[in-house]
Amino acid sequence: MPLPASVTTVPVHIEILDINGDPTSGFVEFVVPQALHETVTDTVLGPGRYIATLDTAGEATINLPATDDTDVVPQGWTYEVRVNTLAWQTRFHVAVPVATVGTLEFSDLIPGTAVSDGSVYLPLTGGVLSGDLTVSGDLTVTGTASIGGAGVDSVNGRTGDVTLTADDVDLGDVDNTSDLAKPVSTATQTALDGKADTGHTHSGGVSITRAYVTSGNVTPQDTSEAWQQLTGGPTLTVPAAEGDEIELAVSCMTDGSVSTTFFDLAVVWG
């Protein structure tokens, strides 16, 4: 029974000779490892194999369903190829792309090193790879490379060989901002503006031009005392800074000599 008409097939030509150039005999199997769902007629194609038997010239041509047919799911699967001839026996995996023009040569599908560990190989042109890809050494891509569905044409406005720096992503000052260059918040700066500098002094000192004399302790809050205001006296300048305590000494004359010294304590506020 033929395949549904919606399934795209690709002709693959096989020619295998021995080391002397003589045709060999045997066959090549293309194993479909899983069931396929053809979505147009809603048909399930079970896993199986296609067998190409070599003729007397060591050749065979076989039509194989494409592994990336959009009408078949899943896409991106691969054939396990089993070569069983007198001249050569091996196994490897290949994809057969829809985009093949004309007949696909079997020799173009052969990997450089035959393995039997389930590795996936792509044909020289076209094809879809599913699963993980490990590249040893340099990988050169010409044209547009599509990863995860969407192609990447540029990065941050750059095309071609792109090398990003911290400045490209606005991180130029992440590792080299000095403490002096780090900003402070507006609230912090406002609070600092209201403080005096550590070297702040009252350059003019404290000028005492008036004093009050009363008996007993000086109690500024008690205004009932009969205080006497001294006027016309000399001006005393005392070098002082904010927060300093100043002790004032007042000498009094009694009977023509200094008999008593009174002290008062003052605190200078800014």
Domain holding 209, by residue range, is: 203-215+226-267
- What 8-state DSSP symbol labels residue 103? P
Q: What is the pLDDT of residue 132?
A: 66
Q: What is the pLDDT of residues 136-164, one digit of tens each?
A: 777 777 766 666 555 566 776 777 677 77
Q: To the nearest 10°, the Cα dihedral for 224, 228, 231, 234? A: -110
For residue 188, give the H/E element and its range. helix 186-193
Domain total of the chain? 2
In a domain, 119, yes or no: yes
The model's pTM is 0.44
Residue 172 lies inside a defined structural domain of this protein: no
Q: What is the pLDDT of residues 236-264, one digit of tens each?
A: 566 666 666 655 555 555 555 554 454 45
Question: Contact at 8 Å (CB) between 72 and 39?
Answer: yes
DSSP 8-state class, residue 190: H
Residue 156 lies in a domain: no
Residues 209, 100, single domain; the answer is: no
H or E stretch at 47: none
